[in-house]
Amino acid sequence: MTDLWTAVKDLPLMIESSAYEALVPLGPVDMDDLSTTQLCLRGRGEEGVGEQVGMPEAQEELRTSAFPLTGEWGSLEAFLDHLDTIEMWAEEPEFALARNWRRWTFESAALDLALRQAATTLAEVLGRTPRPATFVTSFGLGDPPDIDKVAARRARHPTVGFKLDVAPSWTQEIMDRVADVEGVATIDFKGQYGIEVEDETALVAMYERTLATFPDAVLEDPHDLPAVLELLRGSEGRVSYDAPITSVESIAATAITPRIVNVKPCRVGRLPELSRLYAHCEAEGVRMYNGGMGELGVGRGQAQLLAALFHPDEWNDIAPSDYNLSDPPAGLPASPLDPAPGPGFRRG
């Protein structure tokens, strides 16, 4: 089966103009970064769109930037080589990974345009049939924890699972009540973001309660503390990594060799490396799922399409954006999500 990069790198690409569009949520959301920016590349009567996530100040900088993008590029690969010659940041971004987020904005838009100019779809060039993608919705319970939040959402959306951010404030009673709700698929420890551990004893006790209470959940981004790694001995098969995963090499650099990883396209940033990751994981039997980064527009649909093509049956954290609202309304799409592939690199 053709790998992703081989399937798309020779697609012809012609860009006549570019434009940016600011996107903001339509209501209160359970997120910190509240805006995104869509990049639209135009050429030969078609439009290709990508989405920049993260850091509101970076959104404004992008929307006021002017990069040399127009031209008859011959191939998608040639255009990506051209992007390598452009400095996309006026100042070094606060987070190094922001470079990957921005790079993905341009690469995903260029891929969308190239596919549309060729009058084809990503599924067609890959020779894969997208399948309905299982998804979860992710959120924190707050401090103090809102114990009823999980049950209320499950009652309203009974097919949708959960990826939950655990905290030391979760007592055994809280964990038991959360575990009583069907659909808790992933527990996220947020242990790979460099956040200072204020009380290691309390943190280790949280792990002990979590392992005892959620025996089947995927355990995402555990801390590298020796006491934590010792507790996870015997549970390695359900340990996953998210924040560190940017390349094939990053998988081998984790403290526990994972058998499941969260492959976020915008965190990887580049199509050739995303292709390598997919091929490596499929060859080595490493399960994959993906997640969103607060997308409000086309980027969420692109992540959903990749899930439908490469790992539809895992607990993908790509719920439609309205699930990020503080009070998601009834009537939202159910899981698994119809892949509904549209032209180019989009869901219809």
Q: What is the pLDDT of residue 28?
A: 56
Q: What is the pLDDT of residue 59?
A: 86
For residue range 256-304, list pLDDT tens digits in order.
999 999 999 999 999 999 999 999 999 999 999 999 898 999 999 999 9
The sheet carrying 46-52 orders its strands as: 17-23, 36-43, 46-52
- Mean pLDDT across the stretch 76-85? 98
Q: What is the pLDDT of residue 194?
A: 87
C-alpha pair distances (Å), 169 with each of 8, 208, 220, 329, 342: 48, 13, 18, 28, 44
Q: What is the pLDDT of residue 60?
A: 86
Encode burial over 167-205: b for 16+ CB neighbours within 10 A, e otherwise: bbebeeebbebbbebebbbbbbbbbbeeeeeeeeeebbe
**What CA–CA distance (Å, rounded) separates 126 from 122?**
6
Q: What is the pLDDT of residue 27?
A: 58
Q: Assign 35 a pLDDT band (cuts: 50, 70, 90).
A: confident
Q: Which amino acid is at 78?
A: A
SS3 string, 50-99, reads: EEECCCHHHHHHHHCCCCCCCEECCCHHHHHHHHCCCCCCCCCCCCCCHH
- Mean pLDDT across the stretch 190-200? 93
Handedness of CA 191, 197, 200, 202 (dihedral sign): negative
Q: What is the pLDDT of residue 1?
A: 61
Query: Domains along the chain?
Result: 4-124 (3.30.390.10), 128-324 (3.20.20.120)
Q: What is the pLDDT of residue 345?
A: 98
Q: Assign 44 a pLDDT band (cuts: 50, 70, 90).
A: very high
Instruction: Work out the mean pLDDT of the chain and round it to a whole number.
Output: 94
End-to-end CA distance of the chain: 24
Q: Assign 26 a pLDDT band (cuts: 50, 70, 90).
A: low
**What CA–CA distance (Å, rounded) separates 214 from 6?**
41
**What CA–CA distance (Å, rounded) separates 161 from 154?**
8
**What CA–CA distance (Å, rounded) separates 232 from 222?**
9
- Mean pLDDT across the stretch 247-259? 96
